[in-house]
């Protein structure tokens, strides 16, 4: 890992009042992190943050331990996991810079359209529309779940799950529905898609929009 990048990230947390250790040794880690290699650890009073730094999204996807680490960190009172992705802006992200985020009314209309399509027997296409609404909901600025860099839907899902905003059941269902969404977007024909799968996506999106407190911010 680029030491300059780690130092820059560590400085960000120091500026927020945290005591920061880059690449902590095993004896510097709390007992619940035994066996893990941590990129950066930050503490402030009773609060603690485990910061995992990835070069790009493929690097994040290849990390087989990240979900287990997220569950363990979240189970500790006062602790959270932050993911930092260093990948630069993609062409798709550049193309969307001039697009506006939907208002609440526009977002809820997207979700209603998805539900209506699913009820009419078009669940695969409804899944795509529902996911567009969910992505907008996940991008809403939030306070205590942080993904630095450019976040994909999978990264946003994982950050929300790892910090307790989404339950494991919600997370697993969204992962399954995302497979369907991706198949349809790329011109493939998925297996049978139940309308309930779409309703789960839209219900989760509404929950994220209406929920107070735990949330996701993109930096």
What confidence score (pLDDT) does residue 219 get?
Answer: 37
The helix (run of H) or strand (run of E) holding residue 25 is: none
Higher pLDDT, 2 or 182: 182
Q: Where are the beta strands (DSSP E) in the chain?
A: 19-22, 40-44, 47-54, 79-85, 145-148, 216-218
Helix (H, G, I), strand (E, B) or coil at 191: coil
The pTM of this model reads 0.58
Look at residues 43, 73, 90 and tell me which one is the last residue of a structural domain. Answer: 90
Is it the case that residue 68 has pLDDT exceeding 80? yes
Residue 165: name the closest of 121, 122, 213 by CA. Answer: 213
Residues 103 and 205 in one domain: yes
211 half-sphere exposure, CB direction, 13 A CA radius:
21
How many domains would you assign to the chain?
Answer: 2
Query: Which residue shows structure tokens 């198949």?
Result: 183
* Stretch 118-133: mean pLDDT: 93
Is 108 inside any structural domain?
yes
Q: Which of 162, 134, 147, 155 is nearest to 217 (CA)?
A: 147
Exposed, middle or buried by CB within 10 Å (0-12, 13-18, 19+), for 79?
Answer: buried
Clarify whether residues 67 and 113 are in a common domain.
no
Q: Is 217 within the bounds of a domain?
A: no
User: Are 63 and 127 found together in one domain?
Assistant: no
* First-to-final CA distance of the chain: 20
Backbone angles phi, psi at 28, to 5 degrees: -90, -10
Same domain, yes or no: 201 and 107: yes
- State yes or no: pLDDT of 97 exceeds 70: no
Q: Provide the β-strand partners of residue 81.
A: 50
For 111, the domain range is 99-209
The reply to whether 218 falls in a domain is: no
Task: Verify that 128 and 83 share a domain, yes or no.
Answer: no
Q: Which two tokens stand for residue 108?
A: 């809820």
pLDDT (tens digit, 9 = 90+) per residue, 174-190? 999 999 999 998 888 89
Q: Is 96 in a helix, a strand, or coil?
A: coil
Query: Which CATH number covers residue 194?
Result: 1.20.120
Secondary element (H or E) of residue 52: strand 47-54
């Amino acid at each position: 890992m680029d030491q300059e990048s780690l130092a820059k990230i560590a400085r960000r947390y120091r500026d927020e009042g945290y005591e920061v250790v880059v690449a902590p040794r095993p004896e510097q880690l709390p007992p619940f992190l035994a066996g893990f290699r941590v990129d950066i650890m930050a503490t402030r009073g009773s609060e603690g943050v485990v910061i995992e730094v990835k070069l790009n999204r493929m690097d994040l996807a290849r990390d087989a331990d990240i979900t287990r680490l997220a569950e363990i960190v979240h189970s500790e009172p006062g602790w959270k996991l932050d993911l930092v992705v260093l990948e630069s802006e993609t062409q798709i992200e550049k193309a969307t810079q001039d697009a506006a985020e939907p208002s609440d009314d526009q977002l809820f209309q997207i979700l209603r359209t998805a539900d209506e399509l699913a009820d009419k027997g078009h669940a695969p296409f409804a899944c795509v529309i529902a996911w567009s609404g969910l992505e907008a909901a996940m991008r809403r600025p939030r306070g205590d779940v942080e993904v630095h860099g450019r976040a994909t839907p999978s990264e946003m899902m994982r950050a929300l799950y790892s910090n307790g905003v989404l339950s494991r059941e919600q997370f697993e269902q969204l992962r399954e529905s995302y497979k369907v969404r991706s198949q349809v977007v790329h011109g493939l024909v998925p297996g049978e898609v139940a309308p309930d799968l779409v309703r789960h996506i839209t219900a989760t999106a509404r929950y994220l929009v209406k929920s107070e407190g735990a949330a996701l911010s993109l930096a």
